[in-house]
Amino acid sequence: MAGLLARRRRVGGRTIEAPTLQTEAVKFWENINFGPASQAAAREFAMKQEMPLAECARLFALLNMSLANAYIVNWDAKYTYNVWRPVTAIRNGDEDGNDATERDAGWTSFNPTPMNPEYPSQATINATIASAVLESVFSPVKAIPFTATDVRDTKRTRQFASLADMAEEQKNVRVWGGVHYRFAIRASEDVGRKLAAYMIENTLKRAR
C-alpha cells in the first residue's frame, strides 16, 4: 500500500508528473464528456449502417439499461467496501496503521475527487459495458475508429483508432487524475464484462 500511495502522490496530484498527452486526456474526460461519448458512438455507427428503427431502439435500450444496472451495482459495492480515495489515504497516511505510509496534508488530486468511496470505478464499469454492448451489435470494437467531441466545445476532440482505445483511455484517466487506484480499475473491468455479458444474453433478445 505504501508504494501504491507513493505513486499516486507523484502521478495524480495537482502537480502531476505525467506526459502532456496524459494531462490533456485527464482534462478532456471530465464527467460531462464520459456519458455522451458512448451515446454518440452508438448513434454514429447506427447511422452509418442505416439501421432500421426497431434495431436502433434495441441498441439504445440495451446500452442504457446496461449502464443503469452498472450504477446500481457500483454504488452498492462502494458503500459495502468503503475504500478511501487517494486524497483521503494520502492526507491521513499517519492514521492507517501502516508505518511505511507518510502523511501529506496538502496533497490534492489533479481531478476533483468525487465525494464517494473509491472502489469500484464507475467510469471503468461504464466504459467496459459500452464497449461490450456496441461490439455485440456492430463488430469488434478494436476495428471501429471514433472521434470523441467535447459537449461544450465541438472544436475540442480526441481521436481514437478504435472504441477499445477510447475505453482504455477513459479508464486510465481516473488513475492519472488521482481519483482511483489501478487495482480498482482492473477489478471494475471484470465487473463490467460480467454485467454486460449478462445483459446481452438475457435482455432484449431478437425475435426468431
Can you give the residue ranges of every domain in the chain? 2-202
For 96, 194, 202, the CA distances from 59, given in Å and listed in that order, are: 46, 19, 14
Q: By C-alpha distance, which of 86, 91, 89, 81 is closest to 113?
A: 86
pLDDT of 208 reads 66
pLDDT of 75 reads 98
CATH topology of domain 2-202: Vanadium-containing Chloroperoxidase; domain 2 (1.10.606)
pLDDT of 97 reads 66
* Burial per residue of 172-200, b for 16 or more beta-carbon CB atoms within 10 angstroms, e otherwise: bbbbbbbbbbeebbebbbebbeebbeebb
Residues belonging to the chain: 208
Tens-digit pLDDT string for the chain (208 aa): 544 544 545 555 565 555 678 889 999 999 899 999 999 999 999 999 999 999 999 999 999 999 999 999 999 999 999 999 999 988 987 776 676 667 788 888 988 999 999 999 999 999 999 999 999 999 887 788 999 999 999 999 999 999 999 999 999 999 999 999 999 999 999 999 999 999 999 999 877 6
146-149 and 157-160 strand pairing: antiparallel
pLDDT of 29 reads 96
The CB density around residue 82, as the number of other CB atoms within 10 Å, is: 11
C-alpha cell at 75: 454504488
Q: Between 122-137 and 182-202, two packed helices, what is the crossing angle to 10 degrees?
A: 40
